[in-house]
Amino acid sequence: MKKKIALISGITGQDGFLLAKFLIEKNYIVHGIKRRSSSLHSTVRLDTIYQDKFVKNQSLHLHYGDVSDPAFCCRILKDIKPDELYHLAAQSHVAISFELPHYTASVNSLGTLNLLEAIRINSLEKKTRFYNAGSSEMYGSLKGSSQNEKTPFCPQSPYATSKLFSYWITKNYRESYKIFASNGILFNHESYSRGETFVTRKITMFVAKYNKLKKGTLYLGNLSSKRDWGFAGDYVQGMWKIIQHPKADDFVLATGKSYSVRDFLREAFKCINIEIVFKGKGSKEIGFDLKTKKIIVKSIAHYYRPNEVTNLIGDYSKAKKLLKWKPKTKFKALVKMMVSSDIKGYLQQN
């Protein structure tokens, strides 16, 4: 049987890597867009699945490109003509979007438009199924008990606002040009491959270092903010299921439970047998080791955002019903998986 061809924008990121791995295991030929970088570091996640480009019959092919370049988007779609296009490329850091709002909008909003236009210009409306990486950040802070596909959006950052354009233009091209274009509205999902400056990975990497050195301070922002944290491995399967669904549509993927940054810290330090307790409020809060009384965590104003989404909880019942998708990994198992992986990584490198 002819192998399916997938194109992934953002293949060098957490989700791109995990999705590529998943699709290769499903016997796809995977093409990915990578940005030119001055070092090899940006493709480090892909090292385990990449073979030299001169090896015959390989499943993974990388192409230099940038989604903010419309000519490139047109050319790659013309050359690859993918059955499935997973658009994951983004300036995905919410705090950085306040520092780089224009850049964030141009990559996240226009990048999506460039790829949708490339499908249309190359007359691939009937051939290429399009997945857009929408975000729970589009909702803003939780008002009711949970957020689903019908909850009104109320973006609270340049990142969330840029993702809303991306969400609506995907819907618009679905309705106007009959492109199979679906939005995933994904709540936070983490893994051992999570970017090092997102809060979960920042914590687990610190815990791994502290486990060995027994010293140092972790500086963080708002410890009270709550997120619905799932495992990225479960979510890339959800992306694939969204694209396999007979009809293009929008789906929330989440766990339905939320935990604070403080909860994450407690659980992560528990993995190295430290009971961490907290004292103080806001940017004066500290976390210390109950046994030794050493201060390990400090909340500082520097990491606070100009506007904060205080809580997010997703209702994934539509995905459960129509896609038969549900998250398999629970919060505690996720924290443990990330801490164990970082401990192993730290010990190998030091």
Q: Which residues contact ligand NAP (rule: CB under 6 A)?
A: 9-10, 12-16, 33, 35, 42, 66-68, 88-92, 107, 111, 133, 135, 186, 188-189, 195
Among 220, 231, 174, which residue's Cα sits nearest to residue 197?
220
What is the nearest approach in angstroms of ligand G4F to the Cβ of residue 227? 5
Q: What DSSP letter does each residue of 297-339 carry, written as one string?
A: EEE-GGG--SS------B--HHIIIII-------HHHHHHHHH
83 touches 6 (CB < 8 A): yes
The alpha carbon of 132 is separated from its chain's Cα centroid by a whole number of angstroms, namely 12
Q: Which helix (H) or strand (E) holds 60?
A: strand 60-64
292 near ligand G4F (CB under 6 A): no
Q: For residue 234, give Cα distances in angstroms to 31, 129, 317.
A: 21, 21, 15
Q: What is the token pair recorded at 312?
A: 């997010």
Q: Of ligand G4F, ligand NAP, none, which one does residue 20 interact with (CB within 5 to 8 Å by kind)?
A: none
Tally of residues, the chain: 350
Based on the shown chain and the rule CB under 6 A, indicate whether residue 176 belongs to the binding site for ligand G4F.
Answer: no
Q: Is 96 in the site for ligand G4F (CB under 6 A)?
A: no
Binding status of residue 136 toward ligand G4F by CB under 6 A? yes
| Closer of 137 and 250 to ligand G4F (Cβ) | 137
CA–CA separation, 108 and 91 (whole Å)? 7
* Identity of the residue, 9 or 170, whose beta carbon is nearer to ligand NAP in the bound complex: 9
Question: At its nearest, how many Å lie between ligand NAP and the CB of residue 56?
Answer: 27
Kindly state the DSSP code that residue 279 receives in the 8-state scheme. Answer: E
Cβ(334)–Cβ(340) under 8 Å?
no
Min CB(17)–ligand NAP separation in Å: 8
Near ligand G4F by CB under 6 A: residue from 16, 111, 221, 287: 221
Q: How far is the CB of 191 from ligand G4F (least distance, A)?
A: 11
C-beta of 269: minimal distance to ligand G4F in Å?
15
User: Among ligand G4F, ligand NAP, none, what does residue 107 contact (CB within 5–8 Å per kind)?
Assistant: ligand NAP
Which neighbouring-strand residues pair with 33?
9, 63
- Per CB under 6 A, 188 contacts ligand G4F: yes
Sign of the four-CA dihedral 329, 202, 92, 9: negative
- The nearer residue to ligand G4F, 31 or 202, going by C-beta atoms, is 202
Q: Per CB under 6 A, does 222 bind ligand G4F? A: yes
12 binds, among ligand G4F, ligand NAP, none (CB under 5 to 8 A by kind): ligand NAP
Residue 227 interacting with ligand G4F (CB under 6 A) = yes
Number of residues forming the site for ligand G4F (CB under 6 A): 22
> Residue 272 phi/psi, 5° resolution?
-115, 25
What is the smallest separation between the CB atom of 27 and ligand NAP, expressed in angstroms?
23
List CB contacts of 24: < 8 A, sequence separation 6 or more.
30, 49, 59, 60
Task: State the chain's maximal CA–CA distance in angstroms.
Answer: 66
Using the rule CB under 6 A, is 274 a contact of ligand G4F?
no
Residue 94 binds ligand G4F (CB under 6 A):
yes
Residue ranges that bind ligand G4F, judged by CB under 6 A: 92, 94-95, 135-137, 187-188, 197-199, 202, 220-222, 225, 227, 261, 303, 305, 308, 312
